[in-house]
Structures are given as structure tokens and as C-alpha cells.
């Protein structure tokens, strides 16, 4: 079992290291990291170095992107929950906080800092839930046989429109964002 997991991880890392995006031949601008207090999960809502006027100019030159920059909220797909099936109020095991952000700078899945298009009249708003671990990371404090529970942050990949000010282009890039908090368990061996 462990040998299969190690082999799988090696294959995933090998594929990830060798994969290149179709934009990898381009030189992209160096985006300075904003102060860390403005960032959460590599999502930075304010950036003193954000070139607002240059981004507005590029957006106006690329009208084909306007339908994607309507200010609608981008959020995880809502699945069927127990409460919607049984019509009874239920509470999740893990405490969560709803977050809504309008990012200016984010780090994409290729670990490159990108400027997200978010200017007046052309915006992309993210909505997600993050784990609230103020009381600890256990989702169920009582003892359940030999099982230990833990709240874990889950993530999804989404595409956002970014602005490359140096090359004066708009591009789609993939970003990993938090989605929700789930209760997981592991068997305790005594």
C-alpha cells in the first residue's frame, strides 16, 4: 500500500515538473508580493503596486473578455446536503467562516504571482468558506471508538482573467482557492 502511494506521488511530481503551460515561453512581468497582512491563501485583496490605470486600458483594448468580467460572484458548486434532502436543519461538524474577496494579486498553480483583473466595472469576486479553527481542529470532541477527527480545508482550481501589463494582454490562468471545510477522520492505533 505505501509503495503504491510513493510511486503515485513520484509520477504526479514528475508530470507536474515536466508540464508547461502554453504561455510558458513568454516572459511574464515580475509581480511584487504585497504586504502579507493583506493576503489569505495567496489571495491578496489590496496591492499598493497594482497598476489600476494600465489594467483598465488593457481591459478596454480586449472587449472579448468583458462578458467574463461582469462582477458576478464565483463560488464553489453547491451540492446536495443532508438538510436539503431531509428538509430538517442540520449543522456541519466543522465551524466555517464565509469569505468574499475581490483579489488584486494571486499566486497561480504554477507558483507565479499574477495580477487579477479587478477594476471598476470589470471585476471577478470570489466566495468560499474557510475553516474556523479557533477552538481547535477537532470536529467531534467526544471519543468515537479508535477514531480521531480533524477539520481540513478543501481546495478547488478555477480560471480567472489576469492582466500582463508588460505584454499588454489579458490571459486566463488557473488558481487554487479554498472551497469549504470538511471533517476527516483517522484511526488511532493504541
Beta 96-101 vs 39-40: how paired, if at all? unpaired
The answer to whether residue 172 sits within a structural domain is yes
The residue range of the domain holding 143 is 28-76+91-187
| pLDDT given at position 187 | 75
Residue 19 belongs to a domain: no
Pick the closest to residue 158 from 126, 131, 111, 112 (CA basis).
126
Q: What is the CATH number of the domain that holds 60?
A: 2.10.90.10
Could you give the dihedral angle defined by the CA atoms of residues 114, 119, 123 and 129, in that order, rounded to the nearest 10 degrees? 60
What pTM, to 2 d.p., does this model score?
A: 0.70
Does any domain span residue 1? no
Q: Is residue 13 in some structural domain?
A: no
Nearest to 170 by CA among 62, 48, 72, 93: 62
Q: Would you say residue 120 lies in a domain?
A: yes
Q: Work out how many domains the chain is built from and give that number.
A: 1
For residue 20, being part of any structural domain is answered with no
* 11 domain residue, yes or no: no
Answer whether residue 85 is part of any domain: no
Counting every residue written for the chain, the total comes to 190
Q: How far is it, in rounded angstroms, from Cα 10 to Cα 19?
A: 14
pLDDT tens for each residue of the chain, 190 residues long: 444 433 333 433 333 343 444 444 444 555 555 554 478 888 999 889 999 999 999 999 988 888 878 877 877 655 444 444 455 667 778 888 999 999 999 999 999 999 999 999 899 999 999 999 887 788 866 666 778 888 999 999 999 999 999 999 999 999 999 998 998 887 775 5
Amino acid at each position: 500500500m505505501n509503495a503504491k502511494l510513493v510511486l503515485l506521488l513520484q509520477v504526479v511530481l514528475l508530470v507536474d515538473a515536466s508540464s508547461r503551460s502554453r504561455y510558458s515561453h513568454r516572459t511574464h512581468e515580475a509581480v511584487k508580493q504585497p504586504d502579507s497582512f493583506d493576503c489569505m491563501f495567496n489571495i491578496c485583496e489590496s496591492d499598493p503596486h497594482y497598476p489600476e490605470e494600465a489594467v483598465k486600458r488593457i481591459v478596454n483594448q480586449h472587449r472579448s473578455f468583458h462578458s467574463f468580467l461582469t462582477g458576478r460572484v464565483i463560488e464553489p458548486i453547491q451540492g446536495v446536503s443532508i438538510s436539503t434532502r431531509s428538509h430538517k436543519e442540520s449543522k456541519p461538524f466543522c465551524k466555517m467562516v464565509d469569505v468574499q474577496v475581490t483579489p488584486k494579486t494571486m499566486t497561480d498553480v504554477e507558483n507565479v504571482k499574477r495580477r487579477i483583473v479587478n477594476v471598476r466595472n470589470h471585476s471577478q469576486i470570489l466566495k468560499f468558506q474557510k475553516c474556523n479553527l479557533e477552538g481547535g481542529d477537532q470536529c467531534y470532541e467526544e471519543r468515537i471508538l479508535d477514531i480521531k477527527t480533524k477539520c481540513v480545508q478543501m481546495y478547488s482550481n478555477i480560471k480567472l482573467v489576469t492582466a500582463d501589463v508588460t505584454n499588454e494582454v489579458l490571459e486566463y490562468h488557473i488558481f487554487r482557492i479554498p472551497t469549504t471545510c470538511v471533517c476527516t477522520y483517522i484511526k488511532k492505533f493504541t
